[in-house]
Amino acid sequence: MAAKKGVIAILTGGGDVPGLNPAIRAVTIRALREGYKVIGLRRGWAGIMELTRDKKADNSRHFSYLTREIVDRAGRTGGTFLHSSRTKPSKVSKAHVPEHLKEKYTDDINDLTEEVLKNLEFLGVDYLIPIGGDDTLSYGVRLYTEGVKVVAIPKTMDNDVPGTDYCIGFSTCVTRTIALTNNLRTVAGSHERFLVLEVFGRYAGFTALLPAMAGAANRCVIPESEFDIERLTELLSKDRLKNPSRYSILLVSEGAMFKGGEMVFKDRTTDAYGHAKLGGIGDLVSDEIKNLSPKFNKGKTISTVTQKLGYMVRGGDPDSIDSIVPMAFGNLALDLILRGIYGRLVVLKNGRYDNVPIEIITSTKKLVNVKQFYNTQRYRPNYESFEMKPLFIMTSEL
């Protein structure tokens, strides 16, 4: 299969989300129709980093050629059929250097970008489309500075990639969070308890704030604003008392912090990007509000139901938005390549599709605008000034 216009490589990195396969499908079908050859790089940056530059070698674990039949079959499903990893080739520990490169790279932390560039050349890759969050795409920025023709697609259910109002996976995450919270209402109501749900969100609280704004929870705590546990318990106790079924609900971002405290880590390990693994804040909050509850309930303890939603909000098929947006993002990426424009991030801004310089990924952070959207005294969203706001309310600039 000769490539009339060149070879496009696609990869997915970081955590899986629903919507990745539709994005791969959109890129592939359009690219094949326009006369390109399409390569799927497997396991994120790991696939292209670990590849062996030998035509006789079996590199099937590292890449594959994509056809319409392959992407059509996967395009309606969740996850990523190309698989994923949290590999960052510019920061590879000695233990994770590929076997055939161990003699060359012996430092504790190694930069294998030289190998990645040679491997892309070995495969004949002319254009690269990475799909990922800020960590995955930050390495795409690095490759662009090295001369690779990169067009990036934002993905993360935390919705925290700078420059875009929307990232693939966010809508399904919010949809799942609302549905799972509603499912657990019956448990909390039957036993007249507090319901405490921990959701993803290391630095940004969008995945807790939007479901709360939609009415899934009475209160939410987010990474952008520390919370006072006694005040939070008081509010939840009042919410519970007002509820005829005698329960109240709290959403807790995994990166949320007690006033004067710090993030809660589940162990001492880190991922390949160097991030300590978060987890457990929901349990801590649950224990504390139970212990403090007698103060606001005439001396009687209020028990809790605690659940970490975790992978349940990122599993399964994409919802309608995470089927439509990836299709558009994939075609936007092809539009840019056809026009000879590279070093761009395709985005949704104020309800319209667009593209911005890829450097925005590493030049800023996207966080909840606390002053505008979060009431720090009541630990809940602000319900005001919705006129002319985009679908998901909070834009990349606010």
What's the confidence (pLDDT) of residue 260? 86
Task: Measure the CA dihedral 31/35/41/45, to 10°.
Answer: -70
Query: For 7-168+317-363, CATH number?
Result: 3.40.50.450
Tell me how far CA of residue 98 lies from CA of 59, 89, 94, 111, 137, in angstroms: 13, 11, 9, 12, 22
At residue 1, the pLDDT reads 47
- Provide long-range contacts, Cβ within 8 A and 24+ apart, for 212-218: 212/251, 212/380, 212/381, 213/381, 213/383, 213/393, 214/174, 214/178, 216/177, 216/178, 216/181, 216/182, 216/249, 216/251, 217/181, 217/249, 217/250, 217/251, 218/248, 218/249, 218/250, 218/380
Q: For the domain made up of 172-313+370-381, give the CATH fold.
A: Rossmann fold (3.40.50)
| Sign of the CA dihedral running 82, 31, 76, 327 | positive
Q: What is the pLDDT of residue 272?
A: 58
- DSSP string for 174-227: HHHHHHHHHHHHHHHHHHT-EEEEEE--SS--HHHHHHHHTTS-SEEE-TTS-B
Residue 385 is predicted with a pLDDT of: 83
Structure tokens at 87: 């590999």
pLDDT of residue 398: 55
Q: Residues near 29 by Cβ (< 8 Å), separated by ≥ 6?
A: 68, 71, 72
CATH 3.40.50.460 occupies which residues in the chain? 172-313+370-381
User: What does the pLDDT read at residue 81?
Assistant: 97
Looking at the chain, the number of H-run helices and the number of E-run strands are: 12, 17
Q: Among candidates 217, 192, 204, which has minimal Cα distance to 303?
A: 192
Do the beta carbons of residue 142 and residue 176 sit within 8 Å? no
Distance CA 48, CA 220 (A): 41
Residue written as token pair 């039957």: 190
Catalytic-role residue among 16, 134, 158, 322: 158
Q: Report the distance separating Cα 178 and Cα 330, nearest Å.
A: 28
Q: Reply yes or no on whether 158 is catalytic.
A: yes
What pLDDT is recorded for position 184?
Answer: 98
- Token couple for 82: 């190309």
**CATH 3.40.50.450 residue window(s) in the chain:** 7-168+317-363
Spans in the chain with pLDDT lower than 70 = 1-3, 263, 265-279, 398
Task: Supply the pLDDT for residue 264.
Answer: 72
Q: How does DSSP classify residue 310? A: G
